[in-house]
Amino acid sequence: MSASAAPPPRIAVVGASSLIGEALIDELNARKFPRAELHALDEERDLGRPLASDASATDVATFDFSRVELAFFCGRAALSVRYAEAAAAHAWVIDSSPTFRMQERVPLVVADVNAEALEGAARGLVALPGSASVALATALAPLHALAGLERAEVATYQAVSGSGRAAMDELAGETVAMLSGKKARGRAFGRQIAFNVIPQVDALEADGGSREERRLWHETRRILGRPQIAINATAVRVPVFFGHSLAVHATFERPVTVSDAARVLQCGKGLFLAAAGSANEIPTPATLAISPDKVYVGRLRADLTRDRALNFWIVADNVRKCAAHNAVSVAQILVNSPR
Protein backbone atom coordinates (compact mmCIF):
# COMPACT_ATOMS: atom_id res chain seq x y z
CA MET A 1 0.00 0.00 0.00
CA SER A 2 1.23 3.53 -0.72
CA ALA A 3 2.13 6.01 2.00
CA SER A 4 -1.11 7.90 1.40
CA ALA A 5 -3.25 4.79 1.52
CA ALA A 6 -5.22 3.55 4.49
CA PRO A 7 -3.23 1.97 7.34
CA PRO A 8 -2.65 -1.80 7.32
CA PRO A 9 -5.87 -3.67 8.04
CA ARG A 10 -6.80 -5.43 11.19
CA ILE A 11 -7.48 -9.05 10.22
CA ALA A 12 -9.57 -11.93 11.54
CA VAL A 13 -9.14 -15.56 10.46
CA VAL A 14 -12.28 -17.56 11.25
CA GLY A 15 -11.60 -21.29 11.41
CA ALA A 16 -7.95 -20.67 12.23
CA SER A 17 -7.29 -24.28 13.29
CA SER A 18 -8.71 -25.75 10.06
CA LEU A 19 -6.34 -26.92 7.32
CA ILE A 20 -7.13 -23.84 5.23
CA GLY A 21 -6.97 -21.52 8.24
CA GLU A 22 -3.50 -22.70 9.22
CA ALA A 23 -2.29 -22.55 5.61
CA LEU A 24 -3.73 -19.04 5.26
CA ILE A 25 -1.95 -17.73 8.36
CA ASP A 26 1.29 -19.28 7.02
CA GLU A 27 0.67 -17.55 3.67
CA LEU A 28 0.06 -14.18 5.34
CA ASN A 29 3.34 -14.58 7.22
CA ALA A 30 5.30 -15.80 4.19
CA ARG A 31 4.17 -12.84 2.10
CA LYS A 32 4.68 -10.39 4.97
CA PHE A 33 1.11 -9.26 4.38
CA PRO A 34 0.69 -5.85 6.04
CA ARG A 35 -1.57 -5.97 9.06
CA ALA A 36 -2.12 -4.05 12.26
CA GLU A 37 -3.57 -7.02 14.16
CA LEU A 38 -4.37 -10.68 13.55
CA HIS A 39 -7.26 -12.33 15.41
CA ALA A 40 -7.40 -16.12 15.19
CA LEU A 41 -11.00 -17.25 15.74
CA ASP A 42 -12.64 -20.65 16.08
CA GLU A 43 -15.76 -22.37 17.28
CA GLU A 44 -15.80 -23.18 20.96
CA ARG A 45 -15.36 -26.90 20.24
CA ASP A 46 -12.05 -26.21 18.44
CA LEU A 47 -10.51 -23.73 20.85
CA GLY A 48 -8.30 -26.34 22.51
CA ARG A 49 -6.68 -27.36 19.24
CA PRO A 50 -3.08 -26.10 18.96
CA LEU A 51 -2.28 -23.80 16.04
CA ALA A 52 0.81 -24.17 13.90
CA SER A 53 1.37 -20.40 14.16
CA ASP A 54 2.10 -18.47 17.33
CA ALA A 55 -1.48 -17.19 17.42
CA SER A 56 -3.98 -18.45 19.97
CA ALA A 57 -7.63 -18.75 18.96
CA THR A 58 -10.56 -17.08 20.64
CA ASP A 59 -14.27 -17.86 20.38
CA VAL A 60 -15.82 -16.47 17.19
CA ALA A 61 -19.22 -16.31 18.92
CA THR A 62 -18.01 -13.53 21.21
CA PHE A 63 -15.94 -11.59 18.68
CA ASP A 64 -16.92 -8.08 17.57
CA PHE A 65 -16.22 -7.84 13.83
CA SER A 66 -16.26 -4.05 13.95
CA ARG A 67 -12.72 -4.49 15.30
CA VAL A 68 -11.39 -5.60 11.87
CA GLU A 69 -11.29 -4.43 8.26
CA LEU A 70 -10.63 -7.85 6.70
CA ALA A 71 -12.01 -11.27 7.68
CA PHE A 72 -11.10 -14.63 6.16
CA PHE A 73 -13.64 -17.42 6.70
CA CYS A 74 -11.83 -20.77 6.44
CA GLY A 75 -13.86 -23.19 8.55
CA ARG A 76 -17.11 -25.11 8.16
CA ALA A 77 -19.87 -23.68 6.00
CA ALA A 78 -21.98 -23.37 9.16
CA LEU A 79 -19.60 -20.68 10.42
CA SER A 80 -20.07 -18.66 7.24
CA VAL A 81 -23.83 -19.07 7.41
CA ARG A 82 -23.87 -17.86 10.99
CA TYR A 83 -21.36 -15.00 10.99
CA ALA A 84 -20.17 -13.93 7.52
CA GLU A 85 -22.93 -11.52 6.54
CA ALA A 86 -22.82 -9.79 9.91
CA ALA A 87 -19.04 -9.46 9.60
CA ALA A 88 -19.45 -8.04 6.09
CA ALA A 89 -21.30 -5.06 7.54
CA HIS A 90 -17.92 -3.93 8.93
CA ALA A 91 -15.20 -5.59 6.86
CA TRP A 92 -14.23 -7.27 3.65
CA VAL A 93 -15.17 -10.93 4.09
CA ILE A 94 -13.31 -13.47 1.97
CA ASP A 95 -15.20 -16.75 2.29
CA SER A 96 -13.72 -20.14 1.34
CA SER A 97 -16.93 -22.11 1.96
CA PRO A 98 -19.64 -22.91 -0.62
CA THR A 99 -22.14 -20.67 1.20
CA PHE A 100 -22.19 -17.67 -1.18
CA ARG A 101 -20.64 -19.05 -4.38
CA MET A 102 -23.85 -19.23 -6.37
CA GLN A 103 -25.21 -15.85 -5.29
CA GLU A 104 -24.86 -13.49 -8.25
CA ARG A 105 -24.59 -10.47 -5.96
CA VAL A 106 -21.38 -11.91 -4.44
CA PRO A 107 -18.21 -11.82 -6.58
CA LEU A 108 -16.73 -15.30 -7.16
CA VAL A 109 -13.02 -14.75 -7.63
CA VAL A 110 -9.84 -16.52 -8.67
CA ALA A 111 -7.16 -13.85 -8.36
CA ASP A 112 -5.17 -15.24 -11.30
CA VAL A 113 -8.22 -15.35 -13.59
CA ASN A 114 -10.97 -12.80 -12.92
CA ALA A 115 -9.66 -10.19 -10.51
CA GLU A 116 -11.73 -7.65 -12.44
CA ALA A 117 -14.80 -9.04 -10.65
CA LEU A 118 -13.63 -7.01 -7.64
CA GLU A 119 -13.60 -3.69 -9.47
CA GLY A 120 -15.89 -1.13 -7.94
CA ALA A 121 -17.12 -3.51 -5.26
CA ALA A 122 -17.97 -1.98 -1.92
CA ARG A 123 -16.93 -3.61 1.30
CA GLY A 124 -18.76 -6.87 1.81
CA LEU A 125 -18.67 -10.49 0.77
CA VAL A 126 -16.26 -12.11 -1.68
CA ALA A 127 -16.66 -15.84 -2.39
CA LEU A 128 -13.80 -18.12 -3.36
CA PRO A 129 -14.46 -21.14 -5.61
CA GLY A 130 -13.73 -24.70 -4.62
CA SER A 131 -10.18 -25.92 -5.13
CA ALA A 132 -10.93 -28.06 -8.19
CA SER A 133 -12.70 -25.11 -9.83
CA VAL A 134 -9.71 -22.84 -9.10
CA ALA A 135 -7.30 -25.31 -10.72
CA LEU A 136 -9.54 -25.90 -13.73
CA ALA A 137 -10.35 -22.25 -14.40
CA THR A 138 -6.71 -21.18 -14.03
CA ALA A 139 -5.67 -23.62 -16.75
CA LEU A 140 -8.66 -23.03 -19.02
CA ALA A 141 -8.58 -19.21 -18.94
CA PRO A 142 -5.65 -18.62 -21.35
CA LEU A 143 -6.90 -21.37 -23.67
CA HIS A 144 -10.37 -19.84 -23.65
CA ALA A 145 -8.90 -16.46 -24.56
CA LEU A 146 -6.96 -18.11 -27.40
CA ALA A 147 -9.65 -20.23 -29.05
CA GLY A 148 -12.97 -19.87 -27.21
CA LEU A 149 -13.81 -22.77 -24.92
CA GLU A 150 -16.89 -24.65 -26.05
CA ARG A 151 -16.91 -27.73 -23.82
CA ALA A 152 -14.77 -29.46 -21.19
CA GLU A 153 -14.97 -33.07 -20.10
CA VAL A 154 -13.29 -33.31 -16.72
CA ALA A 155 -12.43 -36.10 -14.29
CA THR A 156 -11.11 -34.86 -10.95
CA TYR A 157 -8.99 -36.95 -8.59
CA GLN A 158 -9.36 -35.14 -5.30
CA ALA A 159 -7.16 -35.41 -2.22
CA VAL A 160 -8.72 -36.31 1.12
CA SER A 161 -7.63 -32.97 2.62
CA GLY A 162 -10.54 -31.50 0.66
CA SER A 163 -12.74 -33.04 3.37
CA GLY A 164 -10.67 -31.70 6.24
CA ARG A 165 -8.31 -32.91 8.93
CA ALA A 166 -10.48 -35.82 10.07
CA ALA A 167 -10.44 -37.29 6.57
CA MET A 168 -6.64 -37.07 6.48
CA ASP A 169 -6.46 -38.82 9.85
CA GLU A 170 -8.76 -41.51 8.50
CA LEU A 171 -6.55 -42.16 5.47
CA ALA A 172 -3.46 -42.37 7.67
CA GLY A 173 -5.18 -44.66 10.18
CA GLU A 174 -6.67 -46.93 7.53
CA THR A 175 -3.34 -47.26 5.75
CA VAL A 176 -1.56 -48.31 8.93
CA ALA A 177 -4.39 -50.66 9.89
CA MET A 178 -4.53 -52.39 6.53
CA LEU A 179 -0.75 -52.79 6.33
CA SER A 180 -1.07 -54.45 9.75
CA GLY A 181 -3.69 -56.87 8.49
CA LYS A 182 -6.65 -55.08 10.10
CA LYS A 183 -9.89 -53.80 8.54
CA ALA A 184 -10.44 -50.22 7.44
CA ARG A 185 -13.06 -48.26 9.38
CA GLY A 186 -14.48 -46.38 6.39
CA ARG A 187 -16.10 -43.63 8.44
CA ALA A 188 -15.09 -40.38 6.71
CA PHE A 189 -16.35 -41.39 3.26
CA GLY A 190 -18.76 -44.20 4.12
CA ARG A 191 -16.31 -46.77 2.77
CA GLN A 192 -12.61 -47.54 2.74
CA ILE A 193 -10.39 -44.82 1.24
CA ALA A 194 -6.94 -46.33 1.76
CA PHE A 195 -5.79 -48.22 -1.38
CA ASN A 196 -9.09 -47.30 -3.00
CA VAL A 197 -10.77 -44.68 -5.19
CA ILE A 198 -14.33 -43.48 -4.62
CA PRO A 199 -16.24 -41.98 -7.58
CA GLN A 200 -18.23 -39.64 -5.37
CA VAL A 201 -17.27 -36.30 -3.82
CA ASP A 202 -20.03 -34.80 -1.66
CA ALA A 203 -23.66 -35.95 -1.73
CA LEU A 204 -25.36 -37.37 -4.81
CA GLU A 205 -28.38 -35.49 -6.16
CA ALA A 206 -31.58 -36.76 -7.75
CA ASP A 207 -30.15 -36.71 -11.28
CA GLY A 208 -27.21 -38.92 -10.25
CA GLY A 209 -24.62 -36.13 -10.27
CA SER A 210 -22.85 -35.03 -7.12
CA ARG A 211 -22.87 -31.61 -5.51
CA GLU A 212 -19.16 -31.27 -6.23
CA GLU A 213 -19.70 -31.98 -9.93
CA ARG A 214 -22.46 -29.40 -10.08
CA ARG A 215 -20.27 -26.86 -8.27
CA LEU A 216 -17.42 -27.44 -10.73
CA TRP A 217 -19.78 -26.80 -13.61
CA HIS A 218 -21.38 -23.64 -12.23
CA GLU A 219 -18.25 -22.14 -10.67
CA THR A 220 -16.04 -22.57 -13.74
CA ARG A 221 -18.62 -20.93 -15.98
CA ARG A 222 -18.98 -17.99 -13.56
CA ILE A 223 -15.22 -17.51 -13.26
CA LEU A 224 -14.70 -17.54 -17.02
CA GLY A 225 -17.75 -15.35 -17.59
CA ARG A 226 -19.26 -17.75 -20.12
CA PRO A 227 -22.55 -19.28 -18.88
CA GLN A 228 -22.99 -21.25 -22.10
CA ILE A 229 -19.84 -23.36 -21.65
CA ALA A 230 -20.61 -27.05 -21.10
CA ILE A 231 -18.68 -28.65 -18.24
CA ASN A 232 -19.23 -32.39 -17.84
CA ALA A 233 -17.50 -33.63 -14.70
CA THR A 234 -16.91 -36.77 -12.68
CA ALA A 235 -15.41 -36.10 -9.25
CA VAL A 236 -13.41 -38.90 -7.62
CA ARG A 237 -11.84 -39.09 -4.15
CA VAL A 238 -8.38 -40.70 -4.14
CA PRO A 239 -6.03 -41.80 -1.31
CA VAL A 240 -3.75 -38.75 -1.56
CA PHE A 241 -3.25 -36.32 1.32
CA PHE A 242 -2.71 -33.07 -0.63
CA GLY A 243 -3.03 -32.14 -4.29
CA HIS A 244 -6.04 -32.37 -6.60
CA SER A 245 -5.47 -33.76 -10.10
CA LEU A 246 -7.72 -33.26 -13.12
CA ALA A 247 -7.84 -34.96 -16.52
CA VAL A 248 -9.29 -32.47 -19.00
CA HIS A 249 -10.59 -32.96 -22.54
CA ALA A 250 -11.44 -29.51 -23.94
CA THR A 251 -13.17 -28.57 -27.20
CA PHE A 252 -12.87 -25.06 -28.66
CA GLU A 253 -14.83 -22.82 -31.00
CA ARG A 254 -11.78 -22.10 -33.16
CA PRO A 255 -8.91 -24.31 -34.36
CA VAL A 256 -6.05 -24.56 -31.86
CA THR A 257 -2.64 -26.20 -32.17
CA VAL A 258 -0.62 -27.77 -29.38
CA SER A 259 2.19 -25.25 -29.96
CA ASP A 260 -0.17 -22.28 -29.67
CA ALA A 261 -1.77 -23.78 -26.56
CA ALA A 262 1.67 -24.34 -25.02
CA ARG A 263 2.65 -20.73 -25.76
CA VAL A 264 -0.34 -19.21 -23.93
CA LEU A 265 -0.10 -21.66 -21.04
CA GLN A 266 3.57 -20.78 -20.55
CA CYS A 267 2.53 -17.14 -20.19
CA GLY A 268 -0.58 -17.85 -18.12
CA LYS A 269 -0.83 -16.25 -14.70
CA GLY A 270 -0.35 -18.70 -11.84
CA LEU A 271 0.52 -21.53 -14.24
CA PHE A 272 3.49 -23.77 -14.92
CA LEU A 273 3.52 -25.87 -18.10
CA ALA A 274 5.65 -28.98 -17.80
CA ALA A 275 7.43 -29.28 -21.15
CA ALA A 276 7.31 -32.59 -23.00
CA GLY A 277 10.54 -34.51 -22.53
CA SER A 278 11.51 -32.65 -19.35
CA ALA A 279 12.00 -34.24 -15.94
CA ASN A 280 8.72 -32.59 -14.90
CA GLU A 281 6.74 -33.77 -17.91
CA ILE A 282 4.10 -35.45 -15.74
CA PRO A 283 3.11 -33.35 -12.71
CA THR A 284 1.95 -35.40 -9.73
CA PRO A 285 0.59 -34.46 -6.30
CA ALA A 286 3.65 -35.91 -4.57
CA THR A 287 6.15 -33.89 -6.63
CA LEU A 288 5.40 -30.56 -8.30
CA ALA A 289 2.14 -29.85 -6.49
CA ILE A 290 3.97 -29.37 -3.19
CA SER A 291 5.10 -25.97 -4.51
CA PRO A 292 2.05 -23.97 -3.43
CA ASP A 293 2.05 -20.99 -5.80
CA LYS A 294 1.32 -22.63 -9.16
CA VAL A 295 -1.21 -24.73 -11.01
CA TYR A 296 0.74 -27.33 -12.98
CA VAL A 297 -0.23 -28.50 -16.46
CA GLY A 298 1.29 -31.50 -18.23
CA ARG A 299 0.62 -34.12 -20.91
CA LEU A 300 -0.67 -31.43 -23.29
CA ARG A 301 -1.64 -33.06 -26.57
CA ALA A 302 -4.13 -32.97 -29.42
CA ASP A 303 -7.32 -35.00 -29.13
CA LEU A 304 -7.00 -37.33 -32.12
CA THR A 305 -10.72 -38.18 -32.04
CA ARG A 306 -12.11 -34.64 -32.40
CA ASP A 307 -11.36 -31.41 -34.23
CA ARG A 308 -10.45 -28.25 -32.27
CA ALA A 309 -9.77 -30.29 -29.12
CA LEU A 310 -6.94 -30.73 -26.62
CA ASN A 311 -6.24 -33.11 -23.76
CA PHE A 312 -4.15 -32.20 -20.72
CA TRP A 313 -3.51 -32.99 -17.07
CA ILE A 314 -3.65 -30.55 -14.12
CA VAL A 315 -2.23 -30.82 -10.61
CA ALA A 316 -2.47 -28.23 -7.83
CA ASP A 317 -2.19 -28.14 -4.05
CA ASN A 318 -5.83 -27.83 -3.04
CA VAL A 319 -5.24 -26.33 0.41
CA ARG A 320 -2.27 -24.03 -0.17
CA LYS A 321 -2.46 -22.89 -3.80
CA CYS A 322 -6.16 -23.16 -4.55
CA ALA A 323 -7.47 -22.01 -1.17
CA ALA A 324 -4.96 -20.11 1.01
CA HIS A 325 -2.86 -18.60 -1.78
CA ASN A 326 -5.96 -17.49 -3.67
CA ALA A 327 -7.53 -15.98 -0.55
CA VAL A 328 -4.45 -13.90 0.27
CA SER A 329 -4.07 -12.85 -3.38
CA VAL A 330 -7.67 -11.61 -3.38
CA ALA A 331 -6.99 -9.75 -0.12
CA GLN A 332 -3.93 -8.07 -1.63
CA ILE A 333 -6.03 -6.80 -4.52
CA LEU A 334 -8.65 -5.43 -2.14
CA VAL A 335 -6.29 -3.62 0.22
CA ASN A 336 -4.22 -2.19 -2.64
CA SER A 337 -7.19 -0.93 -4.66
CA PRO A 338 -8.23 2.73 -4.35
CA ARG A 339 -11.69 3.11 -2.83
Let me know whether 300 and 151 are in one domain.
yes
Shortest CA distance to 320 belongs to which of 94, 24, 77, 16?
24
Q: What is the pLDDT of residues 270-310, one digit of tens each?
A: 999 998 777 667 899 988 766 668 999 999 999 999 999 99
Let me know whether 166 and 289 are in one domain.
yes
Q: What pLDDT is recorded for position 1? A: 43
Whether 181 shows a pLDDT value over 60: the answer reads yes
Let me know whether 221 and 267 are in one domain.
yes
Residue ranges making up the domain that contains 95 = 10-128+323-336
Let me know whether 75 and 108 are in one domain.
yes
Let me know whether 291 and 261 are in one domain.
yes
Let me know whether 154 and 302 are in one domain.
yes
- CB-based contacts of 300, cutoff 8 Å, min separation 6: 258, 261, 262, 265, 273, 276, 310, 311, 312
* Mean pLDDT, range 125-150, rounded to an integer: 98
Total of domains in the chain? 2
What global pTM score does this model have? 0.93
Let me know whether 121 and 143 are in one domain.
no
Burial 121-133 (b: 16+ CB within 10 A, else e): beebbbbbbbbbb
Let me know whether 105 and 40 are in one domain.
yes
Let me know whether 85 and 211 are in one domain.
no
CATH code of 80's domain = 3.40.50.720
* Mean pLDDT, range 252-264, rounded to an integer: 97
Let me know whether 315 and 331 are in one domain.
no
Residue 40 is assigned to a structural domain of this protein: yes
If you average pLDDT over every residue of the chain, what do you get? 92
At position 172, the amino acid (one-letter code) is A
Residue 279 is assigned to a structural domain of this protein: yes
Count of CB atoms situated within 10 Å of the CB of 182: 11
Q: Quickly state the pLDDT bin for 2 (edges 50, 70, 90).
A: very low
Let me know whether 124 and 154 are in one domain.
no
Let me know whether 65 and 18 are in one domain.
yes
Shortest CA distance to 236 belongs to which of 200, 273, 210?
200
